[in-house]
Structure 1
Amino acid sequence: MWQMVVAFDSVKIGGVSRVLMVMPYVLLLSLFRKLKSVIFGYLTIVDRMWSMFGCCLGSLWLAESVIFRFSPMVRVIGWFGSIMFTAFIRPNQHTLGCSLKMLGMVRIATFKGKEKDPRVIWEIACKLNDDFKIHNLSLRPILPRVPRDCKWETALEGVSKVNIDVSVKDNKTGLSIILRDSNDFVLCGKTIFIDKAANPKLAELDALLVGIRLAQSLKFDKVIFEIDCACIINRLCKHKDDITIFGHHIKEVREMLNSFSKAEVK
């Protein structure tokens, strides 16, 4: 005899409510066809015979529904004999008489010749589902992150630092340049707001040019420029001809850096 456990997960008002119904499949089918005015909506389950793992045993279902106003996700667990399955279905909100989409139907467990109470099977399925989520969260990524200390490092004696930051948001761009001496004392700073969205790389490069001009105006001799764009640093290290606008600005930066006895961009 087919039996199913249906849980309606509601996220209404930040809470989670579940309604469990455990009964023979035939009674469940007839009940759902009559529940047209229930708060969860109208759900019709249609029988479909399907061969499973090479066997002609088992019965799967095809569901259709009107939009669930209070249940965006429905979890369904069913079993035939000693084999149990679970599935998550979600209503498609584009049509009134829409079909519930099965997000997954997985063979969860096989109870070899042992009959268990439906609620016990439900708890086992929930436990397996939680274990699967925990495994995904604890799984190490393919490219592990290497921990690295990030902090402000005081420059050597006689070396000044220029910190450059760029922010782009809501079709606006902001440039920030701060100059410090070797004692971390702020010498000067400049902020520029542009009323349009700019390319982050070009904006970072423009901010670097502004920082170089500020350092030149203060007659700095040894300077370290700190930026957040690795692309600019890599392009400055490569002395190749580049006919693009970005390459032209890179060439301009190199020429301006030559005005210092020691200059580094990192």
Structure 2
Amino acid sequence: MSLACLRCGAEKETLLHAIKDCLLAHAILACGGLDDRLISNDFVHCIGWLEAVMILLDKKAMEDFITFLWNSWNNMNNFIFRGKEEEARVIWERALTLSNDFGLHNINH
């Protein structure tokens, strides 16, 4: 079984690589305007990166970030299982729309 990233061909795919360091994940984070310290800094473990994100982002930005992670992971699954992948900007805009819709739903209910 290969441990290489199917998206970008990196030698070893880890959880941190899949949601932060993979070329498409990195591009999605950049589209969202995530602080460069969170995109470019090297983190050893995923939990360290997520803790840094929680420290730097306010509540609304953190909600958007979690929605981004879900959409990015979903896009990766679509690529692996269906051979279909979308551009970074499309993924980010879908995540933002979903987050805003969810916020409006919570206000109404």
Give TM-score, length-normalised by structure 1: 0.21
Q: Larger C-alpha radius of gyration, 1 or 2?
A: 1
Higher strand proportion (structure 1 or 2): 1
Q: Which has the higher helix share?
A: 2
| TM-score, scaled relative to structure 2 | 0.43
Q: Greater relative contact order: 1 or 2 (C-alpha under 8 angstroms, separation 6 or more)?
A: 2
